[in-house]
Amino acid sequence: MGKVNDLVSRGVRLLVAEPGASGEWSEIPGDFFSAPDVNRVTRFESPVDTEAFGEVYDEARVPEPFRGYGIDKLVNILESKRLAALPQDVRIAAVIASLDAAGVTLPQVLKDAAIRDRALEDFVSAKEREVSAIQHRNEAHIAALKEELEAYVESRQREIESLQNVADGSGTAFGQLQLRKRQEQERLREILSHFVAPEQNPIPVPRKAPRLDGEAEA
């Protein structure tokens, strides 16, 4: 229900001045704005950020106002250069006179505004549903992507740790090999030292091998 319809349903009385009648007012009946002049629309192609509500009115199949005198016509008359400098009451009187000359009543113009208001309400409701659906869908997708990312990072972290352990282990094993080599050279040289002079010993004096990164000094 549009805003005008809502006000009428709450008991608000709408009074309009009779065209050509000075000081006389008439009440618009409560069911005047409830007639099904436009089909209710649940889906609009116009995007949520549209600024051209004319497209929304077209999708809602808002009918042309009686004799072309809708709410937009009233706006054009009120904002015309010819009336712009006149007092407000004079401008309003000019609008009423224009309607009277065209054989159009003010309630008919108000009904055009109410129909457009209802179309806007339908448009906003439809876009609210669309936005909600997009948010829920994307939030679910984001959550799934985060789970995949966390699983991927955890898997790669385990792979990194495994590779690092292998690298550390191979470095330690190589350091131990160097140590055993020196020990074996020392043993061989010591045995041969009983039979030959030091300068004739074919086993060289073992040199201390450089340490690898992370290797403890032997």
Q: What is the pLDDT of residues 30-42, one digit of tens each?
A: 555 554 455 688 8
Domain boundary among 106, 124, 140: 140
Domain boundary among 88, 118, 140: 140
Same domain, 191 and 124: no
State how far the alpha carbon of 136 is from the alpha carbons of 74, 100, 131, 141, in Å: 43, 53, 9, 9
Same domain, 127 and 166: no
* CA 185, chain centre distance (Å): 74
Q: Has residue 179 got a pLDDT over 80?
A: yes
Same domain, 152 and 136: no
175 inside domain? yes
The length of the chain is: 218
pTM: 0.57
- What residues pair up with 16 in beta bridges, in sequence order? 26
Domain hosting residue 97, numbered range:
3-140
Domain boundary among 104, 125, 140: 140
Please indicate whether residue 41 or residue 150 has the higher confidence score (pLDDT).
150
Pairing of the two strands 25-28 and 14-17: antiparallel
Which residues contact residue 163 at a Cβ distance below 8 angstroms, ignoring those fewer than 6 apart? none
184 inside domain? yes
88 inside domain? yes
Q: In whole angstroms, how large is the CA radius of gyration of the chain?
A: 46
Same domain, 27 and 124: yes
Same domain, 82 and 30: yes
For the chain, how many structural domains are there in total?
2
Percent of residues, the chain, with pLDDT higher than 70? 77
49 inside domain? yes
Predicted confidence band of residue 12 (pLDDT cuts 50, 70, 90) = very low
Which residues contact residue 17 at a Cβ distance below 8 angstroms, ignoring those fewer than 6 apart? 24, 25, 96, 106
Same domain, 69 and 151: no
Percent of residues, the chain, with pLDDT higher than 90? 36
**Stretch among 39-43, 49-53, 107-111, 147-151 having the lowest mean pLDDT:** 39-43
103 inside domain? yes
